[in-house]
Amino acid sequence: MHHRVVRIGDRGPGPRQRRAGVRDGDHTCNGSVVHGIGVRNAAMVYMETLNRKVYEWSHEEARRASMEAGQQLFGCEGLRAVRDAWNAVGVPRHPDEPTC
């Protein structure tokens, strides 16, 4: 079973949304199906994202930072997994987020 990080920090999407997409192949609130990168890999993305954290940031900025971390650590697969998790909980795109 694969898992993924869905939210960063102590504020953000509620408990139902945080659980959305936790297991590989889970259906989410928006009807999409997400594919995880594994618990250990998700934890690595989370920690790298925290290393990028600025004093205050929006959900969109957290999305961008975590996508950059996913891409740095795991290439396009990591970026897509993080992007899909943010999409599953309805966080909009950041204009400067990375792509593959």
pLDDT tens digits, 12-57: 444 443 333 345 555 566 677 777 888 899 999 999 999 998 888 8
Q: Is residue 76 part of a domain?
A: yes
Q: Is residue 34 part of a domain?
A: yes
Domain extent for 19: 15-88
Q: Please provide residue 56's backbone torsions phi and psi, each rounded to the nearest 5 degrees.
A: -130, 140
How far from the centroid of its chain's Cα atoms is residue 3's Cα? Answer: 11
Q: Is residue 22 part of a domain?
A: yes
Q: Is residue 3 part of a domain?
A: no
d(CA 38, CA 100): 20
| Domains held by the chain: number | 1
| pLDDT (0 to 100) of residue 18 | 38
Q: Is residue 10 part of a domain?
A: no
Q: Is residue 9 part of a domain?
A: no
pTM: predicted TM-score of the whole model, two decimal places:
0.72
For 23, 25, 63, 68, 78, the CA distances from 60, given in Å and listed in that order, are 23, 24, 5, 12, 17
Q: Is residue 8 part of a domain?
A: no
pLDDT category at 93 given cuts 50, 70, 90 is very high
The amino acid that residue 81 corresponds to is A
Q: Is residue 41 part of a domain?
A: yes
